[in-house]
Chain A
Amino acid sequence: MAKQLIELIVNGDRYEVAVEPGASLAEVLREELYLTGTKVGCNQGDCGACTVLVDGRSVSSCLTLAVEAHQREVTTIEGLAPSGETLHPLQEAFIEKGAVQCGFCSAGMILAAKALLDRNPAPSPEEIRHGLSGNLCRCTGYVKIVEAIQAASLKLAAGKEAR
């Protein structure tokens, strides 16, 4: 049961990695590519901390076998602010609204929110709650998270109009 060579496109960068067929995408991102922004909470698909985007859709990276992500486009939290200087409007809004408490759920929350806003740029608070139903925050800071996502959606909409 040899390792399998796969190609991952993570945040626009191509990586060739040899992985065990049983390795999860979350493990490979964190332990092979050292992209530790992706967190692993429950490791069984309930908590949403490991959420990443694969071909633009939010998935649990702990339930995704890395071999299945071969040649797919993966976006992790590191990909939202590639330069490390300018933050994504969602990240800015999370800071401004105080939506980060312990921070463990934040990467997954922000990527779930990005998938939501990509599909529905102006969600109602109800739609935001529905969109985040797969992400748990044990600090229970949901109110601020919903506010931050609303603020980010307004900011993104304003940015589009300005252009």
Chain B
Amino acid sequence: MPTPRFTFHQPQNLEQALDLVGMYRTNGKILAGGTDLVPKLRAGLMDVHHVVSLNRVPGLNRITFHEDDGLVIGAGARLADVALNPEVMKHYPGLAHACSVMATTQIRNMGTVAGNIVNSAPSADTAAPLLAYKAAVILVERGGRRHVPLTEFFSGPGLNVMEPMEIMEAIRVPSPPRRSGSAYLRLSARSKVDIAAVGVAGFLALDMDGVIIEARLALAAVAPTPLRCPEAEAMLAGQKPDPQLLTRAAAACVRACRPIDDVRATAAYRRKMVQVLAGRVIEQCYQTAERGDA
């Protein structure tokens, strides 16, 4: 394999990184974990003259949680660190699960959650739980910073609303209320390594009587982008789940998806699995939420 040719930059702080990204916005790429970018670079698939690494920028790999502010996942935080973070495991089990089952140990030690989002694959495993947790991303450029809700971030397979001179600095996830529960379930032909064929994430918040106050459901790998299911969410709000409601809400999730046939699964199988997994996710969220104050 011929060695790809580019100039490699290792900025020591965010300002330097932003300068470089601004300067090389037409033919540069940002490198964090590198697990998606490096194979593409090495296969000569990209016309890239400059690579700007974020790995020497201090503070980017932080993972912090406060009851009031919620969770902040820095752009450099590795999947493995997010998966094993005690606060993430406690308050965001769907995200912890996604980060612990995707890819392989080696890839999870290298790859970042931010990279998984920026890469914007329809099957991005962290996207569905982050959508269900109502996450937003923080994008910075020289002289500006904006928060973009994840629901407005993806624009197509591998596409998103980031400008070429922007860097994703962090992902913010609000703190879950006391009586709430969440989950992520995914299917792939192989249990490890393989990309998800279907992913369903959920979040439910309950009032003291066990009535659902707020429901959020999100799907991955069944549409051009990861997406939420507003119709199903509206059906669940104000209700207590029963088997008929679960079936109807799961069917609404199926209506939200636009799957394709590919090597991992047929569109028809994906629809069936959305029905099954959505039902299970809602049930699992409800049971955890009922158990109390987690």
| A residues with CB within 8 A of B | 1, 4, 20-24, 27, 43-46, 48, 51, 57-60, 63-65, 67-68, 70, 112, 115-116, 130-135
Q: How far is the CB of B24 from chain A (nearest CB, A)?
A: 13
Q: How far is the CB of A47 from chain B (nearest CB, A)?
A: 9
Q: How distant is the Cα of A29 from the Cα of B259 in the complex, in angstroms?
A: 43
Asked if B41 and A134 make an inter-chain contact with CB atoms under 8 angstroms apart, the answer reads no
Q: How distant is the Cα of A134 from the Cα of B103 in the complex, in angstroms?
A: 8
* Contacts A22-B41, A22-B42, A134-B192; A59 near B110 (Cβ below 8 A): yes
Asked if A22 and B105 make an inter-chain contact with CB atoms under 8 angstroms apart, the answer reads no
Asked if B110 and A60 make an inter-chain contact with CB atoms under 8 angstroms apart, the answer reads yes
| Given A43-B42, A133-B191, 17 new contacts (CB under 8 A) | A21-B6, A21-B7, A21-B8, A21-B51, A23-B3, A46-B104, A48-B106, A57-B109, A60-B107, A63-B39, A67-B8, A68-B55, A130-B192, A134-B104, A134-B105, A134-B192, A134-B193
Q: How distant is the Cα of A48 from the Cα of B42 in the complex, in angstroms?
A: 17
* Contacts A22-B42, A48-B104, A68-B34; A43 near B1 (Cβ below 8 A): yes
In this assembly, does B23 line the interface, its C-beta being within 8 Å of a C-beta of chain A? no
Asked if A59 and B5 make an inter-chain contact with CB atoms under 8 angstroms apart, the answer reads no
**Residues of B in contact, count (CB < 8 Å):** 30
12 cross-chain CB contacts under 8 A: A22-B41, A44-B43, A58-B106, A59-B106, A59-B109, A60-B107, A65-B31, A67-B8, A68-B53, A112-B106, A134-B103, A134-B193
Asked if A45 and B107 make an inter-chain contact with CB atoms under 8 angstroms apart, the answer reads yes
In this assembly, does B85 line the interface, its C-beta being within 8 Å of a C-beta of chain A? no
Q: How distant is the Cα of A24 from the Cα of B35 in the complex, in angstroms?
A: 12
Residues in chain B near residue A21, CB distance under 8 A:
5-8, 51
Residues in chain B near residue A43, CB distance under 8 A:
1, 42
Q: How distant is the Cα of A102 from the Cα of B6 in the complex, in angstroms?
A: 37
Residues in chain B near residue A63, CB distance under 8 A:
34-35, 38-39, 106-107, 110
Pick from A23, A45, A67, A115: contact of B10, CB below 8 A.
Answer: A67
